[in-house]
Structure 1
Amino acid sequence: MKRYSLHIAGEAVAPHSGSWFATQNPYTGEPWAEIPRGNAQDVDAAVVAAHHALTSGPWAEMTPTQRGALMRRLGDLISRDATKLATTEVRDNGKLFAEMNGQLNYIPQWFYYYGGMADKVQGATLPLDKKGYFAFTRHEPVGVVACITPWNSPLLLLAWKLAPALAAGCTVVVKPSEFTSASTLEFAELFEQAGFPPGVFNVVTGFGSEVGTPLVEHPLVSKISFTGSDATGRLINEKAGKLLKHTAMELGGKSPNIVFEDADLEQAAFGAISGIFAATGQTCIAGSRLLVQESIHDAFVERLLGVARTARMGDPMSADTQVGPVTTPPQYQKILEYIEIARNEGATAVLGGDKGTGPECGNGWFVQPTIFTGVTNGMRIAQEEVFGPVLSVIKFKEEADALAIANDVRFGLAAAVWTSDIGRAFRMSERLQAGTVWVNTYRAVSFMAPFGGYKDSGLGRENGIDAVREYLQTKAVWINSGAVAGNPFVMR
């Protein structure tokens, strides 16, 4: 099996522990590579390297324009190696090659966009109420950033954090999920090829208690940017808060996908399928609650089943496969447990409802695409994030009813509305408590559009102009241009 190394200060290094652990292919269930088991010593080496690069290395002396040029060069290298990196991600997380290849070919745009933004970060002159002073603002990098990334889309979600952080002038230490570290370690090799100084980008792999905790608690880390479960996010935010560190949290979701009777029902059915069965439902923006107007409920469910029954499970590298395996054994068990919870709550499985065991599933961790009807919004299956191919269908009567059900959940990451009424589209998009609202589409993202959650779905925003501000701090500069010193014991 391939054995990977940590990436610290521009070099591939062995872990201080002298230990590696196996990463498994979710389709075959077999180990395929060895990942370094980092520890607090490795974290310290990486953070010290990042702090040195931030404060005294060539990166600190570069102009924003020079930093932007490196970022654009990095984008070119990602584009060159997109197929290779996508293949590694499929091998490590089991998502479809068509999806991961699409992501990898799209990721360069983050580095082009933010590379161009690097020298557009501007301060301002300030009008003052005091004579004899000139004042202006500077926007400076927040410091060393710890990026903790999830297992479902490792490099895409890293790019959402990394590109604006680099544009702001920060340096970065990444702790990828222990389940899907390989693509991040391969990605790290591109930084030296692009010409980045040592220490700007570092990767320490391993487990949460051995790498994540010391990374969050390290005194030289100024900001933690995390994507993952809300439970883990709360723990990280609590630790960071005690140390007065900046945080950005992109957490879970229980997104409502709302279909009104006046919608294009064919498009809405495809949108509902995309919202929950794409990526095997392993996405924070999964439209796991399908709210259907009562007048069309039965007919729409039949239409939905007609599309869903055609979904093909199988080898994620095959162009014919539409639903791949679940990425990790713990997540596989969790999804199956939630299916039983739904049955015990009285919901009816009109599709699927079991593990995938056919020959097309190999030895992988497959769950059948599952649709439950008879779901009420108070059920656990409607309130808790399953993170798998499990859809809950909930009836509603009128617009106000749909809005009340949609917002009656502790999450607020995304939502969608399917309607031909433009007035309703505006009303719903205004009143839905979600960071992203789609109208007559689902699961669309861009480097240009801010992304983040309301309520328990997180803090801060990724993507768009807003994201750079997450990695900057503002300094006010006062210059005495002629004010006469007065009483030294009184505020000027």
Structure 2
Amino acid sequence: MTSTQQNYVNGEWSDSENGETFECTDPAAPDEVVAEYQRSTAADVESAVEAAADASEEWATMPAPQRGAILREAAANLAERKEELTQLLVREEGKTSGEAGGEVQRAIDIFYYYAEKTRDLGGSRKSASSAGTDLYTVDQPVGVAGLITPWNYPIAIPAWKMAPALATGNTVVLKPAELAPGTALALAGALDEADIPDGVVNVVTGKGSELGPPLIEHEEVDAVSFTGSTEVGQQVYQSATDAGKRAQCEMGGKNPTVVGESADVEQAADIVANGAFGVTGQACTACSRAIVHESVHDEFVDALVARAEDIDIGPGDEYDMGPQVSESELEGTLDYVDVAEQEGATLETGGGQPEGEHLGDGYYVEPTVFSGVERDFRIFQEEVFGPLVSVTEVADFEEALETANDSQYGLSASIVTNDHEEAERFVHEVESGVAKVNAKTTGLELHVPFGGFKQSSTETWREQGDAGIDFYTIQRTVYDEF
């Protein structure tokens, strides 16, 4: 029997005002319903924001280590449910078991991390110019935070927004993506079991187009944090800032890996394949452009094709690569395959839907490699949210760097090289918020800043680590002359 999940508002599990629900299905078996969720309305958002506003003062004035103790207990609650949440993530989003388990662990680690950070919150003492003056700063929460998160990391991204917001004394209203909201509700459940005060955490499910505007524009919401597409993110940022709110938006990517003349080709193929085909290419940091020196180009293409063709595709609990999250995402990837062929790129492998009895009607696509991709091709310039990587040949490092930077996006970039001077120049001159040497474009540490340049970010505030704390706090300077 299909379970029906409720919103979490003001410390209670409740149905939406209109009583309507929607279904989430398994992308590996679209006829199988995973769960039903509340199709919330603007009125439900209103209730959630009011609850968060009412709880704001009590939570803000609670000693930070006490808030940390609640986050720590929530992390332990998540850890107890790790296997259950891993399987939910596999069924709702399509990740493999290994990928899903890693993401759940990431959420657990984030809550533990910010639980410990609460011990260091408060402000700093400064030296005054006159005797008898005590000069210091006080960090205080911004207030109510509206969080809007995507489907591709449906527990990790809500965690890395929610945990620093709560640690610093803010209350939150979370609107998770409609395609995979189950694990986001599990975060609320873990905090509820940890006895977080009513109204501090609120989660409402439903369509972003219907719930986003009333959340972003509500007069009681003080800060807005969004992760998703560039098109939507720009609209969110405009609406939030027009309403005078603090806002951060992390958006799309078109991430390059440069393969230098001195690169170990086998290593380079591993790095690009892992970055391009992991999580079915459905990561904003996924590698979608391989920019390869002409001296190793042919060897690299052969090695990358071999790795793509060695990937076993199927349901996430048994295979190397799972399905795309929805039919529309699958169609989008297949459309780009057609576009690439029309533009004159060479299809080296993949490009279609795999066959096999175990695949059923799932939203599967083959890992795809195109060579002969020029810089003005759409698959070079536009984000393809699927396991598709383009290969562009270059004559030298200067051309490689110029080619890597020829994009409206600037989220993550990497280089594979044994030339230290090239590596140093790359990390200083590449136009991206994350730069890696001899590593894949995906994969982030939780204690360092994350964010992009150009159209990948609003470039206002970074996420994670101390940067996450900065976004959710504002400083007061105190002069005490007793």
TM-score by length of 1: 0.94
Counterpart residue number, 2:277: 277
- Measure the CA separation in 2 of the matches of 1:294 and 1:162: 46
How far off its partner does 1:299 sit?
1.0
- Rg bigger for which structure? 1
Residues 51-98 of structure 1, C-alpha deviations (whole Å, 9 max, x = no match): 11112x3x2342011111111111111111111111111111111111
How far off its partner does 1:468 sit?
0.7
Counterpart residue number, 1:466: 467
- Measure the CA separation in 2 of the matches of 1:400 and 1:11: 58
Counterpart residue number, 2:299: 299
Counterpart residue number, 1:342: 340
**3-state SS of 2:205 partner:** coil
How far off its partner does 1:26 sit?
0.4
1:52-451 pair list within 5 angstroms:
52-55=54-57, 57=58, 59-127=59-127, 134-318=134-318, 321-442=319-440, 443-451=442-450
How far off its partner does 1:209 sit?
2.7
- Measure the CA separation in 1 of the matches of 2:19 and 2:74: 31
- Measure the CA separation in 2 of the matches of 1:470 and 1:187: 21
Gaps of 5+ in 2: none
Amino acid at match of 2:85: L
Q: What is the root-mean-square deviation of aligned Cα atoms in Å? A: 1.4
Of the three residues 30, 47, 50, the one matched with 1:48 is: 50
**3-state SS of 2:287 partner:** coil
- Measure the CA separation in 1 of the matches of 2:352 and 2:103: 29
How far off its partner does 1:480 sit?
4.6
Residues 190-236 of structure 1, C-alpha deviations (whole Å, 9 max, x = no match): 11211211111110001123211111111111111111000000010
Amino acid at match of 1:226: F
- Measure the CA separation in 2 of the matches of 1:103 and 1:186: 13
- Measure the CA separation in 2 of the matches of 1:247 and 1:288: 28
Amino acid at match of 1:402: A
Does the 8 A contact of 2:136 with 2:478 survive in 1?
yes
- Measure the CA separation in 2 of the matches of 1:227 and 1:461: 12
How far off its partner does 1:378 sit?
1.4
Amino acid at match of 1:455: K
- Measure the CA separation in 2 of the matches of 1:34 and 1:26: 15
How far off its partner does 1:466 sit?
1.6
Counterpart residue number, 2:20: 19
- Answer with 127-136 or 436-445: which moved more: 127-136
Residues 141-187 of structure 1, C-alpha deviations (whole Å, 9 max, x = no match): 01111111100110011111111111211111110011111221233
Q: Percent identity?
A: 38
- Measure the CA separation in 2 of the matches of 1:239 and 1:444: 31
Does the 8 A contact of 1:313 with 1:360 survive in 2?
no
Residues 284-309 of structure 1, C-alpha deviations (whole Å, 9 max, x = no match): 00110001111110111111111211
**3-state SS of 1:400 partner:** helix
1:454 pairs with 2:456: no
Gaps of 5+ in 1: 482-492
TM-score by length of 2: 0.96
Counterpart residue number, 1:484: none
- Measure the CA separation in 1 of the matches of 2:116 and 2:142: 19
- Measure the CA separation in 1 of the matches of 2:76 and 2:132: 50
- Measure the CA separation in 2 of the matches of 1:205 and 1:151: 12
- Measure the CA separation in 2 of the matches of 1:331 and 1:106: 25
**3-state SS of 1:284 partner:** coil
Does the 8 A contact of 2:75 with 2:190 survive in 1?
no
**3-state SS of 1:22 partner:** strand
- Answer with 418-427 or 386-395: which moved more: 418-427
Amino acid at match of 2:115: G
- Measure the CA separation in 2 of the matches of 1:307 and 1:330: 26
Does the 8 A contact of 1:5 with 1:36 survive in 2?
yes
Residues 274-328 of structure 1, C-alpha deviations (whole Å, 9 max, x = no match): 111111100000110001111110111111111211111111111xx11111102
